[in-house]
Each structure stands twice: as C-alpha cells, then as structure tokens.
Amino acid sequence: MPEDYSELLQAQLSGKNYQKLMQLPNPKLHRFIAEAIELCTPDSVFICTDAAEDVEYIRKKAVESGEETPLATEGHTVHFDGYHDQARDRANTRYLAPPAMELGTNLNTIDKEEGLAEIRNYLKGIMAGRQMLVCFFCLGPAGSVFSVLGVQITDSFYVAHSDDLLYRSGFEQFKALVDSEEFFRVLHSAGELKNGVSAQVDKRRIYIDINDNIVYSVNTQYAGNTVGFKKLSLRLAIRKAEREGWLAEHMLVMGAHGPGGRTTYFTGAFPSFCGKTSTAMIPGETIVGDDIAYLRKKNDQVFAANVESGIFGIAADVNPDDDPITWNAITTPGEVIFSNVLIADEVPYWLGDGREHPGQGTNYSGQWCRGKKDDQGNEIPPAHKNARYTIRLSVLGNLDQHANDPEGVPVGGIIYGGRDSDTWVPVQQSFDWAHGIVTMGASLESETTAATLGRAGVRTFQPMSNLDFVSIPLGRYVQNHLDFVKDLQHPPFIFAVNYFIKGEDGRYLTGMNDKRVWIKWMELRVHDDVGVVRTPTGFIPNYQDLKRLFKEVLNTDYTPQTYTGHFMLRIPENLKKLDRMEHIYRTQVSGTPQILFELLAGQRKRLLEAQRKHGSYVPPEKF
C-alpha cells in the first residue's frame, strides 16, 4: 500500500477502526476507502466487521439519527424516503462508459470522464459533519463458487442497516482477499438532508463504473437506488458472469414439493409488481430467494444460489389471507424495517393489508389525513404503492433447508412472468430451451407499475425481466442465454406464467391463489408426470390434470368453462406481440442472434395456420 494511503487512513480512522481495517490487507480496498475519505471528507470513519457489537452500533445509530423510528412491535422500525424519492430512478441511473466501449443503444450511458466529474463534484465534501460507514458483505453463500465479495461506503445508517438484513456478512471473507481485485465497491451519500430526507433529488445520480466494478449513488435514500448490492451490482455481476461463463439474473429461487417428498427447484424472472415475491412465498413450498440469482453449471446440470439473505419486499397486498407467511414475519416481534407505510399510534399500515386504515397518521408525505392532496391536486393515499418491508430470510417459516448450501440448488425449471392483460395464458411450457429463451424470456413484456418512476399502466419490453440491469449489448445477452446450456444433455425446462390475464369485462380471470396450482403443474411436468396439449405457442395443461390439482391444492372445483377462459389462444394479440418483438430486435438491438428471428417466424407460422383452421380465438379443446 502506498505510504500516503497508510498515513491518511491512520490519520482519519480511530485506533480501533484502523486496527480493524488492517486485518484486511488488500491494497485496492485501502485505496478505495482512502480516496472516498479524501473526496467526501467525513468527520469520522466506522469500520463495520462481522462482530455483533458493530452491527448493533449501526442499528442503534439508525434510530438515534432519526433515519428510523421504533414502532410498537419489538424490533420494528420505520423509515421514510423523500416524497419524490420513492422508486428506482431509471433516467438518472447510467453506465460510465469509455468512448470506445459499445454497450448498445438500449443502455443508458454517459461518457465515463464526464460522469465521474459530475458525480465526484456532487460527492465532494458531502460527508462533512457526518460519519462514514464502511461495511463488508458476501453475495451468495460464504465459501462458495457462487460468492462475490463487496464493500459499501455510505453515510446512511438506514442503508447500512438494510445491507445487514439483506446480505451475508463479508468481513471475515475479505481477510483472504489479499491481492485480488475481484470485489464490488459502492460509494453512497444521502446528500443534504431536510426533515431527515434527501433534499436535492433533482441532483440524484446513480452511476455505475462497469470497468472498475464501482457503484456511485448520491442525493437519494430509497433502497433501490442506494443499497448497492441489489440491482446496481447485478449490472456488475452480469459482466462478470459473461467473462466467466455463468448467468447473473433477476430471479427468485424456490423449492416446489412434489409426490414422494421430492423437491424440484425453480428460478423465476418477474418484473416488479408481477408476482415475483408472492411466487417465491407460495404456501406449502419453500423459498431460497426472491430477487437475484446466480446460475452455474456442474455435472451436466444447472445450479442456482440466492445472492441475498434477506428480502426488500413490496408491502402492498401482503395480508393474512393471501400471503400468510410474510404477514406473520412482518407483524410479529423481530427485526423489520418498514418504509413509506402509514404509521398511526406506532402501528404500520399499508395498501391491501386487509385492515381498516386510520384517517390520520404519518406517511411519506409527512403528517397525513384522509383527503390530503399533493401540489398537483392528487389525493395522497395512506401508504405509497411501493411501500416496503426489509427482513432476514431466516425469519420465514418456509425457508428451504438448502438456502445457504455452498453448492447451490439444482434447477429443474425456469419461469418467466410479466403483467399481461390480453395475450399469454396463465401457464405454458416451451417446446425446448431455445424456444423458451426467445419467445418467453427475450419476449417478456410487462405493464409499468409504481415500482419505477414514470406513468403506470404502459406496456414495456422487459427481456428476462432484466432490461434495466443488463450491462452488455442486449443481443449478446440473449446469445449468452442460448449458449449457456449448449453442453448440457438435459437443460432446465422453461415455462411462462401470466397472473394478470383479463376477460372481456376487464376482470382478472385468475385468482391470487391460482399460482399454487400452476407451480404444482410445472413441478409435475419437469418429471414428466402429466401430459400436455400442444398449441402454437407452447405446451399447456390438460383439463383433467388441472381439475385434480385445483381440488387437491385449493379445494375448489375447476370447470371446463374456466379452463377455456384461462387457456383460450388469443391469436390476434399473440401476432401483435410478435410484431412488437420483431420490430424491437430488428431496429433497436444490434447483434441479435439470427435464431431469434427464425423462432419468432416459426411461431407466427403456427399461429396463422391455427387462425385459418379455427379462427382468431381458439379454445384449448381445439388442440
């Protein structure tokens, strides 16, 4: 380590914190911390190890600083983000790219030198009067081929506390990283605070240096913009995965339990507000993770591991009837951080919780009462649609026994699901791997929701539910998926689900619990325990199998009329979808694999043949 870094660190860190840092003899790590101190000029620096007393310090300071407020239930706290800081900021999340680097037109980039100059200007002196926190984490199970180490620097105790709930401790792992530069780095500051929230959201910036594996985040508190090891570092992992021949995906991992006590593991990619967490939490099944997965190959099989060890979940619609496991976890004593909910008499309330909400309290707008309006005259709801809870996975009663297995879990199936009101059937299986990657994964669409800034209800292109996070040209990303299993004899099955299909009256055709049946059917398909009906877009279930499963799983009668409504092939809508996909990949995505166009053309041909034979809307019994 250069002498000037040593002198600076020794001068800026107390004796105890300096001694902690010196347990990690990594020059690149020391340089990152020293340069962050020089740039941000904090009053003091706290090095957080894996020790319980260090973690407790972060937890207590989150309350003392006012970033979190204790609630009536022991261990529960609430944090409020600014009124205009309630979701991921797509527009101001950019890649720092050198001029010669080709990332593709679909990625939001800024010249690296220009972007670094801008964000360093915002960060200059920003921590004056504050304490800098340096925290270490392990992405994936410790001591595993899946694990990637990361260090986050922040001046927010709430962010550091959230990190601790969401990720495995990594200080001890860093001790072995003597010379390696293979770790992710995050530098964040909430910026100027007013009434406890980031005051300059107009200067909110989240910049990602994909060459140096650094995430910069400033003037924001919302965890999706600040907890660097969620979607921000997913972008870094995607590039690392490409170099090393694996996949980093925006996916849940869950165990579905089938006949004879067997467990079949699925990964699943769903955009926000499309049922991802509720799928991972299906009653009777077990969860490995709900958000980000790394996929690797071993012994002619695909294995997956959850990057995280906690959940930053959407609170809306969590209630004792529809999501009893999560409800129990976030309403009983234990460590829970709520954000942007309604607080009345130290009790949190959120949309869709099944309770009568008080007419007044505190929420993300400050003091709130029913009928309160914002500056544009819009009525402010009691809780934000994107209100969240943060918990450790270990508090869940359905945590899978292999959730922390260093080997990961074997993947039997991959699920793609979006928010689609008029095209996809509730569940279907692809004909093969390439057909699934192209027509289900790479063709995934979803209607926008409150989880991202902008207008809700707009149909968006969301390939693999990962478009916002893909850090390589999209055509290459699709090709990587196609190539991933080329040396495997039996790759995982691929399925598509759609929980949001609507009838002519605009009402949803499927119930919130129907996904419990779809996952059981997919589990049986992986083992060839049930037959299928072949349609132009994929394999769908037989009526008799679903009739039996609805009775066994939900104790409901599944009628032929319901089956027809669920699995009616809507050919005009499917053809329009193909038009959209072909247009996007031909005009917006350079380097698109030729096989994608061939598979789309094959699907179009099958749909047109079915339309000539059966008409535009074809009931499943016709196949």
Phi, psi of 320 (to 5 degrees): -65, -20
Buried b / exposed e along 196-206 (16+ C-beta atoms within 10 A): bbbbbbebbbb
Which pair of tokens denotes residue 452? 């991202």
Judged on CB neighbours under 10 Å (0-12, 13-18, 19+), 194 is exposed
The two beta strands, 293-298 and 301-306, are: antiparallel
DSSP state of 559: -
From the CB of residue 393, how many other CB atoms can be counted at a distance below 10 Å?
22
- E strand or H helix that includes residue 337: strand 336-339
First-residue to last-residue Cα distance in the chain: 70
H-run or E-run covering 94: strand 93-97
Greatest pairwise CA separation for the chain in angstroms = 80
Measured distance CA(85)–CA(358) in Å, rounded: 24
The catalytic position among 40, 48, 138, 274 is 274
Q: Which tokens go with 535?
A: 């349609």
CA dihedral 249, 254, 260, 261 (to 10 degrees): 130
274 is an active site residue: yes
**Which residues partner with 494 through β-bridges?**
414
**φ and ψ at 476, to 5 degrees?**
-70, -35
CA 566 to chain CA mean position, Å: 28
d(CA 156, CA 158): 5
Residues labelled as active-site residues: 274
